[in-house]
Amino acid sequence: MGKYKVCVYAISKNEEKFVNRWYESVKEADQIVVLDTGSSDKTVEKLKAHGVTVYEEVIDPFRFDVARNKSLALVPDDVDICVCIDLDEVFVPGWKEVLETIWTDDTTRLKYNYNWSLDESNVPQVTFYIDKIHSRKGYKWTHPVHEVLSYEGEKEICKITDKITVNHYPDQSKSRSSYLPLLELSVQEDPTDDRNMHYLGREYMYYGRWNDAIDTLIKHLALEKAKWRDERCASMRFISRCYKNLSRYEEAKMWLEKAIQEASYLRDPYVEMAILYNDLSDYNKVIEYCNAALQITARQKTYINEIFSWNETIYDLLAVAYFNVGDLEKSLENAKKAIEINNNDNRLKKNLKIIEESLKNR
């Protein structure tokens, strides 16, 4: 054991296909504790086979904060550093050695890299900092879903590093159906919490409840705590999406204009505006907003980042737009750039052939 005693803790339910990979990534810890909340597969059996300490308790009604607090309570009191990591997440090897180098006796929390989304080649698409490494005392989990660590000690001392990375490989077959009622409960319990109001509005949007999403996201923007411009911009973009789905295009444009004004340093509202104008076949506007997006080269390290702002989408939009306004050379140039980024998309390849044939035949 090193200078500090490090314990990984987690909750699990029907995660058997992830157990071996997860264990290999966390086995550097001095101790591993898992609270299983009712698996019907071999999750518990496989964890125990690796020597993991497993407790079992069904939590009904289920809340993520309750489950995580119960799992944290299972961590021995003599542990110095707690590391919360879900079974669909994987540490890049060598994390514990780095952690013990960075951590000091007065540290209470650590922020580190989190690759929330990776492509088929394991290249990160959305990356931000996460902060689920913390001291044994002074922390508790709050909120029924999208739970966060709240500090109850006297002075929180947080450090940050790019030398520890967790990759997220979600189980796409798992249902998110519990999220909506838990988010509604979270907002009911604390209607002033800006983060969960934003998440609830987003969840309504995912469900196609356009008017509920609009109303909730407007409530988010009106909250006194809602000051983070990136998230405010996202709420405005989501409102625009809802109006677009209601075929209320002028309102959709208006909210994207607000989003650009709110966070002009982000690509996302520009690209979303370009997508909207593409749908409306206004190709000169598509070109205008795509080129404005490309002027932004600094990628903010937050969960707000949209994958479409940094993949082939901008070049694909430009290829189509330039083709429709008759500039085949620029159309070809952007079509090639799109394929350089994503060489597996047959539609992009078909578009490239159409552009090349049009250049030959003009």
Nearest to 202 by CA among 234, 244, 248: 234
Cα 357 versus chain centre, distance: 40
Cα 307 versus chain centre, distance: 10
- State the pLDDT at residue 172: 82
Task: Flag whether 61 is in a domain.
Answer: yes
N- to C-terminal Cα separation, the chain? 73
Residue type, 111: K
Task: Flag whether 111 is in a domain.
Answer: yes
Q: Residues of the chain whose pLDDT is less than 50?
A: none
- State the pLDDT at residue 1: 60
Structure tokens at 159: 């450090």
* Total count of residues recorded for the chain: 362
Task: Flag whether 105 is in a domain.
Answer: yes
- State the pLDDT at residue 168: 97
Spatial separation of the C-alpha atoms in residues 362 and 341, rounded to whole Å? 28
- State the pLDDT at residue 121: 87
Spatial separation of the C-alpha atoms in residues 312 and 27, rounded to whole Å? 38
- State the pLDDT at residue 300: 86
CB within 8 Å of 295: residues ≥ 6 apart: none
Structure tokens at 334: 């952007």
CB within 8 Å of 135: residues ≥ 6 apart: 80, 81, 82, 107, 108, 109, 153
Residue 255 phi, psi (nearest 5):
-70, -30
Task: Flag whether 196 is in a domain.
Answer: no
- State the pLDDT at residue 2: 72
Task: Flag whether 359 is in a domain.
Answer: no
- State the pLDDT at residue 178: 87
Instruction: Report the 10 Å Cβ neighbour count for 82.
Output: 23
Spatial separation of the C-alpha atoms in residues 334 and 211, rounded to whole Å? 37
Give the pLDDT confidence of 182-191 residue by residue, as tens digits. 999 999 999 9
Structural domain of 81: 6-168
CATH number, domain with residue 159? 3.90.550.10
Spatial separation of the C-alpha atoms in residues 212 and 206, rounded to whole Å? 11
Task: Flag whether 36 is in a domain.
Answer: yes
Task: Flag whether 135 is in a domain.
Answer: yes
Give the pLDDT confidence of 242-260 residue by residue, as tens digits. 999 999 999 999 999 999 9
DSSP string, 44-110: HHHHHHTT-EEEE---SS--HHHHHHHHHHTS-TT-SEEEE--TTEEEPTTHHHHHHHH--TT--EE
DSSP string, 295-354: T------STT--GGGTSSHHHHHHHHHHHHTT-HHHHHHHHHHHHHH-TT-HHHHHHHHH
Task: Flag whether 153 is in a domain.
Answer: yes
Q: Count how many domains the chain has.
A: 1
- State the pLDDT at residue 177: 81
